[in-house]
Chains A and B, each alone.
Chain A
Amino acid sequence: MRNLRLIINREYLARIRNRTFIVMTFLSPLIFVGMILLIAYLSMLNSTEQKIIGIHDDSGIFASEFKDTENVQYLDYSGRDLQEARQEVLSNEYFGLIHISNSGPGEKTQVEFFGKDTPGFGTIENIEKTISDKLTRQQLIEKGIDVSEIDKARAEVNIDIQNFAGERSSKMSNYIKMFFGGAAGYLLMMFIIIYGNMVMRSVIEEKTNRIIEIIVSSVKPIQLLLGKVIGTSLAGITQFAIWVILGTILLFGISSFLGIDPMAAQTPASTVVSQVPKPEINQLVIDILNLPYASLITFFFIYFISGYFLYSAIYAAIGAAVDSETDTQQFMFPIILPLILGIYVGFFSVVENPHGTVSTIFSIIPLTSPIVMLMRIPFGVPWWEILISIVVLIGTNIAVLWLSAKIYRVGILMYGKKPTYKEIYKWLKY
């Protein structure tokens, strides 16, 4: 135990004193904040820029339907010759020209758009909707149907979601759960890749420095392995903590200084929120407060730690097996694959159906379960599923740690051989 503490201590100090580590720790928040501010700034630019679109309407009924908005201004060229209108739009560098050709009754309306650039989805959709709405109304009136009656008959539906225990939730609460789960899963993946790699590099360093044999004559290899994994993860937590603190300070400091609202950068979520009527905001607050924090935090730590340990042990074994970082490539794929798979399953399958077969299976398979289960937990997972998943994960952890320790033991004393999977399999039997 005493030695383990000494090793953890050394590994921790070695990591945080590393020049790259220090630079990254203090530079990353700057880069991150800089990027957020840049996006916020750009989106502000984007929204102030006004597009001018010309309309050449042969039928004369659609032009008035296009209402100017904050972003788009429409100019009516209907009275002019089409060729002339096109020329004018081009020479004035307007965004484009809509041409609606006259159609007889029963014929399809032809719409054309001329422009320098292809217009965005939003613009096209807007144009199509305007014309189609008008056309539909027109045809309804032609058929002798009272349009105002249809308008009155339009019903607004807002589903009131409750579980059987009677707790209310809203659509919003699903977004919140997705956000929490997704953030946790993504964080874990980043943590594993960054700090797992660090563990691996530190093993390789000891091998190339030839200090490894001096150390294993004093401590058991498994102690060194554990010390490395723990020391490096502590360094990682330190770095994350500094990032969070610095990031927050910088973000709010700079944004208040420049008068940019950093929340504007997170457009989709925040615009949705701002459009939600009052009672739903109250529900939102209740939803956030109602998240099962105790279990969320508990399971976050369980899955975070065991997931990180699982992967770090594999990273360490790889580090022990090779002589230099260039030899690690062939072993990287099997590590990255389940991580990516976990994230994909999480963002596609869990979001779609948190308790579907795919999500359930991947939240039990040990290499993907930390990420997928972390994403599922906010939606409420039956306790026995969590239990199975944790038991499988911890069981795998022990097995992998044992295997890694064997590979580590042999690998750290092997020099000059480029290992193959076959070779490593043989080491397990030494």
Chain B
Amino acid sequence: MENLLVAENIYKRFGNFTALNNISINIPRESIFGLLGPNGAGKTTFLRIINQITMPDEGRVYLDGKPLHPDDIAHIGYLPEERGLYKSMKVGEQALYLARLKGLSKAEARERLKFWFRKLNIEDWWDKKIQELSKGMAQKVQFVITVLHRPKLLIFDEPFSGFDPVNANLIKDEILQLKEEGATILFSTHRMESVEELCDYIALIHKSNKLLDGKVSEIKKEYKSNTFEVGLDAVDEATLRHELETNFQVGPARFKSIQDDLKLSIRIQENQNSNDLIQFLLSRARINHFVEVIPSVNDIFIKTVTQNA
């Protein structure tokens, strides 16, 4: 079984509004899967369906090859976007309560909580009330509660919103470590930096439709345009430029360099490869800079969304 979670042809309508229109997604085991999309695209609705908080109108969800069952909540950890805790309850007490709702015994929950609280350096919060903690502090507690029952599938909805950079980094490291320990992670975000760093797979949802999905490296390959950024040192720049323009598609380029170069972005033909371009350049100029342009997830995101607008 390669995929931990499979969602097939999910539809969800609220009255006349279609929130999810035929969404199918496969999440491979022990990967980090990024669910991307602008605000209101339907990400949260999809995550709620996986958590069985809402039911899809059509379509099926499989976990571990079996149709999703109410007992599966014990195998899923969910950190919702709208998250909070009981204000007047003590941190330790409500962490215990929430852990026990996930099926842990009291003793087991206490032991694991102590471990995590030590790990995140928040041991002395046990007897504090949530209203005494800051928002970022409360989010740490929520993170611990989400992962405490060691679920196979972890779902984070906008996990980094509300965290300061230090804590965001801390959480990022924890997520990576959880993946190494064998968890599969699904998270939704509209912030691309974290996707670039973390995700192995992505799916892009826009206006209730899935626009693209797959392995990040493959999507990037698909979206690359055979373009190279070059920095050239030539005697006669005007002639070189003219010669290049007759053979390739040439545009201006902007990158940092210590040389006073001619900076160009050059797109080669379908039947050519990078060596053809290098050979062409070698005899005409000194090459100071030569880099293939790889689209960032951000570029892909913007490009796909504007194309489909």
CB distance from A65 to the nearest CB of B (A): 71
**A211 to chain B: which residues have CB within 8 Å?**
83-86
**A161 to chain B: which residues have CB within 8 Å?**
none
Q: Indicate if B206 sits at the interface (CB-CB under 8 A).
A: no
C-alpha spacing A426/B17, complex, angstroms: 12
Given known pairs A220-B70, A413-B53, A430-B14, the reply for A6 and B82 (CB within 8 Å) is no
Cβ B83 vs Cβ A213 within 8 A: yes
C-alpha spacing A220/B101, complex, angstroms: 11
**B168 to chain A: which residues have CB within 8 Å?**
none
Q: Indicate if B76 sits at the interface (CB-CB under 8 A).
A: yes
Q: Indicate if B102 sits at the interface (CB-CB under 8 A).
A: yes
A361-385 vs B, CB cutoff 8 Å, 1 = contact: the mask equals 0000000000000000000000000
Count A interface residues, CB 8 Å: 25
Q: Indicate if A214 sits at the interface (CB-CB under 8 A).
A: yes
B59-93 vs A, CB cutoff 8 Å, 1 = contact: the mask equals 00000000000100100101110111111110000
Cβ B86 vs Cβ A213 within 8 A: no
B195-239 vs A, CB cutoff 8 Å, 1 = contact: the mask equals 000000000000000000000000000000000000000000000
C-alpha spacing A27/B124, complex, angstroms: 35
Known: A3-B101, A210-B84, A214-B80; 20 extra A-B contacts, CB below 8 A, are A6-B101, A7-B101, A10-B97, A205-B87, A209-B85, A209-B86, A211-B86, A214-B79, A214-B142, A214-B145, A215-B101, A216-B53, A217-B73, A217-B76, A217-B78, A217-B80, A218-B101, A413-B53, A429-B15, A430-B14
Cβ A218 vs Cβ B73 within 8 A: yes
Cβ B15 vs Cβ A213 within 8 A: no
Q: Indicate if B289 sits at the interface (CB-CB under 8 A).
A: no
Q: B76: nearest residue on chain A (CB-CB)?
A: A217
**B48 to chain A: which residues have CB within 8 Å?**
213, 413
Residues of A250-264 whose CB lies within 8 A of B: none
Q: CB within 8 A of B98: which of A206, A215, A220, A409?
A: A215
**A415 to chain B: which residues have CB within 8 Å?**
82
C-alpha spacing A391/B122, complex, angstroms: 55
Q: Indicate if A244 sits at the interface (CB-CB under 8 A).
A: no
C-alpha spacing A211/B101, complex, angstroms: 13
CB distance from B284 to the nearest CB of A (A): 62
Cβ B80 vs Cβ A218 within 8 A: no
Residues of B75-128 whose CB lies within 8 A of A: 76, 78-80, 82-89, 97-98, 100-102
**B274 to chain A: which residues have CB within 8 Å?**
none
A1-42 vs B, CB cutoff 8 Å, 1 = contact: the mask equals 001001100100010001000000000000000000000000
Residues of A381-430 whose CB lies within 8 A of B: 409, 413, 415, 426, 429-430
Q: Indicate if A219 sits at the interface (CB-CB under 8 A).
A: yes
Residues of A196-215 whose CB lies within 8 A of B: 205-206, 209-211, 213-215
CB distance from A17 to the nearest CB of B (A): 8
Given known pairs A217-B73, A217-B76, A426-B15, the reply for A210 and B83 (CB within 8 Å) is yes
**B76 to chain A: which residues have CB within 8 Å?**
217
**13 pairs from A and B in contact (CB 8 Å cutoff):** A7-B101, A205-B86, A213-B48, A213-B53, A213-B83, A214-B80, A214-B85, A214-B98, A215-B101, A218-B101, A218-B102, A219-B101, A430-B14
C-alpha spacing A231/B84, complex, angstroms: 22
A140-156 vs B, CB cutoff 8 Å, 1 = contact: the mask equals 00000000000000000
Cβ A6 vs Cβ B145 within 8 A: no
CB distance from A7 to the nearest CB of B (A): 8
Q: Indicate if B51 sits at the interface (CB-CB under 8 A).
A: yes
C-alpha spacing A214/B54, complex, angstroms: 13
Q: How large is the interface on B (under 10, 10 to 19, 20 to 34, 35 or more residues)?
A: 20 to 34
CB distance from A29 to the nearest CB of B (A): 25
C-alpha spacing A214/B51, complex, angstroms: 10
Q: B85: nearest residue on chain A (CB-CB)?
A: A211
C-alpha spacing A164/B140, complex, angstroms: 75
Cβ B78 vs Cβ A214 within 8 A: yes
**A216 to chain B: which residues have CB within 8 Å?**
53
C-alpha spacing A426/B76, complex, angstroms: 30
Of the listed residues A7, A216, A219, the one surrounded by the most CB atoms of chain B closer than 10 A to its CB is A216
A65-81 vs B, CB cutoff 8 Å, 1 = contact: the mask equals 00000000000000000
**A426 to chain B: which residues have CB within 8 Å?**
15
**B70 to chain A: which residues have CB within 8 Å?**
220
C-alpha spacing A218/B100, complex, angstroms: 10
Q: B89: nearest residue on chain A (CB-CB)?
A: A14
**B83 to chain A: which residues have CB within 8 Å?**
210-211, 213-214
C-alpha spacing A430/B55, complex, angstroms: 9
B125-160 vs A, CB cutoff 8 Å, 1 = contact: the mask equals 000000000000000001001000000000000000
Shortest Cβ-Cβ A-B pairs, 3 listed: A210-B84, A213-B80, A218-B101
**A220 to chain B: which residues have CB within 8 Å?**
70
**B87 to chain A: which residues have CB within 8 Å?**
205, 209
Cβ B53 vs Cβ A217 within 8 A: yes
Cβ B98 vs Cβ A218 within 8 A: yes
**B80 to chain A: which residues have CB within 8 Å?**
213-214, 217
Q: B81: nearest residue on chain A (CB-CB)?
A: A213
C-alpha spacing A217/B99, complex, angstroms: 12
**A430 to chain B: which residues have CB within 8 Å?**
14-15
Q: CB within 8 A of B84: which of A10, A14, A209, A218?
A: A209
Q: A412: nearest residue on chain B (CB-CB)?
A: B53
**A206 to chain B: which residues have CB within 8 Å?**
86
**B84 to chain A: which residues have CB within 8 Å?**
209-211, 214
**A214 to chain B: which residues have CB within 8 Å?**
78-80, 83-85, 98, 142, 145
CB distance from A192 to the nearest CB of B (A): 25
Q: A423: nearest residue on chain B (CB-CB)?
A: B15
CB distance from B70 to the nearest CB of A (A): 7
Q: A430: nearest residue on chain B (CB-CB)?
A: B14
C-alpha spacing A204/B87, complex, angstroms: 13
**B78 to chain A: which residues have CB within 8 Å?**
213-214, 217
**B145 to chain A: which residues have CB within 8 Å?**
214
C-alpha spacing A219/B82, complex, angstroms: 17
**B73 to chain A: which residues have CB within 8 Å?**
217-218
C-alpha spacing A234/B73, complex, angstroms: 29
**A219 to chain B: which residues have CB within 8 Å?**
101
**B101 to chain A: which residues have CB within 8 Å?**
3, 6-7, 215, 218-219
C-alpha spacing A50/B85, complex, angstroms: 65
Q: B101: nearest residue on chain A (CB-CB)?
A: A218
